[in-house]
Structure 1
Amino acid sequence: MERRSFIKGFAGLALCPVCAGAAAAGEPHWGYEGGEGPEYWGKLSEEFRACAIGRGQSPIDLDHPQRADLPKLDPRYAAGFPRIANNGHTVQIDAAPGNRLVVGEDVYDLIQFHFHHPSEHRLRGRRFPLECHFVHRGTDGGLAVLGVLLARGRANGAFETILAHAPQQAGASAALTGLDISGLLPDAGRYVRYSGSLTTPPCSEGVDWIVLTTPVEVAETQVARFAALYPNNARPVQPRNRRILRET
């Protein structure tokens, strides 16, 4: 696996390095609509300039990937998830120490996972109702994010547990119990991998993206309940700019 360099600014985003929740002290407020929306992120702060000028931004349309012999994925998420928060930008679930993603010979510690509505990535032009991001940090400080696409279908028990515990008020958190994370993990044998960025400010690049191409199902009513909290918390797709996408 190609090692990613340490991305500046991650230390201040320990709870949510990809979808930074409550703004850090002195950080400009950002959102998904109006003058604080994605098209303006790069103008809100000098630290956010990559959102406007970066050449390796995420999300993208996962179209025309190259077939490749990629490492086996082995999510080992058995250590539990003690807390859930409504951080003002998404619903985020914190991971207990010991949850890991093994990619070939490399091991990444899971920090947290969260959701976007609708999906941020597209799969060959198709957009999904939801996308889940499992955010990991490697021993070198770089980030690897496992993306899972959620399609309309049968009710999902794991997502139901999350919806039942999710605080309705932004900034609130609660204990989380009874979560069977396997319901959010489809077959990990097929995925697309590419080098991208954080999908929220500061949009730092060098993030190792691994997006599973087999979606999991959630009920339409479950999608609607999440949408009641976040009608739109997805960054639009960004230019690919000749980046290479590799697919198992």
Structure 2
Amino acid sequence: MRYLVLMISLAFPLVSASEPSHDAPAKAPAKASPEAPKTKHDAPTASHEEPAPPAPHTAPAGKHGIPPRISAPRPAAKKHKPPTAGHGTAAANHAAPHAGGHWGYEGGRTGPNNWGSMSPSFALCAEGKEQSPINITTSYAQEMDKIKFSYGMTKITVINNGHTIQLNIDPGSFIEALGSKYQLLQFHFHTPSEEAIGGLRYPMVAHLVHKSEEGKLAVVAALIQQGAQDNPLIEAFWDKIPSEHNETRTFDKLTYSPAALLPLDQSFYTFMGSLTTPPCSEGVRWLVMKNPLSISARQIARFQKEFPMNARPIQAINARNVMEGM
């Protein structure tokens, strides 16, 4: 009997423990709730660990790797950028092209082949790498604005400086070329033309010398050929040019415009060069008119009576490019 009572008392707690507990439903959601968000959060994390999407589309190299046509002449154009040092030298000597001295155009120790050894200040005449004049045999087409000539009326002051006939003018005449503005200082003549085109040197050339506010020089070379008629500008003073060296004549009542020395078609070649007389300073922008103007045989002979030959020999072009407006 005692054993029977003992067995009954042990069985009762076992039955109670096997019944559902009211705390179980609350615990299960509580346990599952932190797990479910974790699972949902881990899924996006796993997706970010996938290989990154492709980078934004880039154009094939061929699309932009081939330079457009307009860029083709750019390297040559850079070569025409005026060097600062060269222009400074030319500007410092802008009054020197025909400033006198014992140099000349004939042979011997004072001739062009010996200019460089006559004085330390003339060294560039022998050692320079951008000397003028040159023979233009090859040119490269380049988009360039035309030269804008703004030449006004001026009085005539004619000088025979022993090397050429030079005409000084009043201030107020300008050109705009290749992004710069230059004031016309004077112009003078050479026979034959110093510049050659395809090996041809014309009977004469007029050099119109300009200077910018920064002291840079630009020379317009107007080639002159023999024609049937007199040029009216040259006719105005040609018979009155002084025959004595270092002689100056001023004509206060006579005015003219240097534009009369320009051809109608003002296409041009351009390159960097030098003064064509001692000290042969470099850094000079040359603008050579492609088309010559005409004067009469009588007018050519009148100048050659004073200066039978006053042209420097052709100089080596070296690494320079000659550009031609398109």
Shared fold per TM-score greater than 0.5:
yes
2:296 is matched with 219
Q: Show the 5 A alignment for 1:101-112.
A: 101-112=175-186
Opposite residue 227 of structure 2, the aligned amino acid is: G
2:100 is matched with 22
Opposite residue 101 of structure 1, the aligned amino acid is: I
Greater share of residues in helix: 2
* CA displacement at 1:209 relative to structure 2: 0.3
Opposite residue 293 of structure 2, the aligned amino acid is: V
Structure 2: distance between partners of 1:64 and 1:49? 28
Go from structure 1 to structure 2 and tell me whether the alpha carbon gap of 1:103 and 1:30 turns closer, same or farther (over 3 Å shift): same
Structure 1 or 2, whichever has the larger Rg, is: 2
Structure 2: distance between partners of 1:188 and 1:100? 18
Which one of 182, 206, 209 corresponds to residue 259 of structure 2?
182
Secondary structure of 1:8 counterpart? helix
Secondary structure of 2:183 counterpart? strand
State whether residues 90 and 284 of structure 2, in contact with CA within 8 Å, keep that contact through their aligned partners in structure 1.
no
* CA displacement at 1:9 relative to structure 2: 6.3
Go from structure 1 to structure 2 and tell me whether the alpha carbon gap of 1:81 and 1:101 turns closer, same or farther (over 3 Å shift): farther
State whether residues 77 and 100 of structure 1, in contact with CA within 8 Å, keep that contact through their aligned partners in structure 2.
yes
1:26 is matched with none
Higher relative contact order (CA 8 A, sep 6+): 1
Structure 2: distance between partners of 1:133 and 1:212? 11
1:7 is matched with 88
- Structure 2 gaps of 5+ residues are 1-79
Structure 1: distance between partners of 2:308 and 2:255? 26
1:159 aligns with 2:234: yes
State whether residues 93 and 281 of structure 2, in contact with CA within 8 Å, keep that contact through their aligned partners in structure 1.
no
Structure 1: distance between partners of 2:115 and 2:278? 7
1:135 aligns with 2:193: no
Counting aligned pairs with the same residue, the percent is 36
Q: Show the 5 A alignment for 1:17-56.
A: 17=96, 19-23=97-101, 29-33=102-106, 34-56=108-130
Go from structure 1 to structure 2 and tell me whether the alpha carbon gap of 1:146 and 1:12 turns closer, same or farther (over 3 Å shift): closer
State whether residues 118 and 234 of structure 1, in contact with CA within 8 Å, keep that contact through their aligned partners in structure 2.
yes
Secondary structure of 2:239 counterpart? helix
Which one of 57, 70, 73 corresponds to residue 147 of structure 2?
73
Opposite residue 220 of structure 1, the aligned amino acid is: A
State whether residues 148 and 216 of structure 1, in contact with CA within 8 Å, keep that contact through their aligned partners in structure 2.
yes
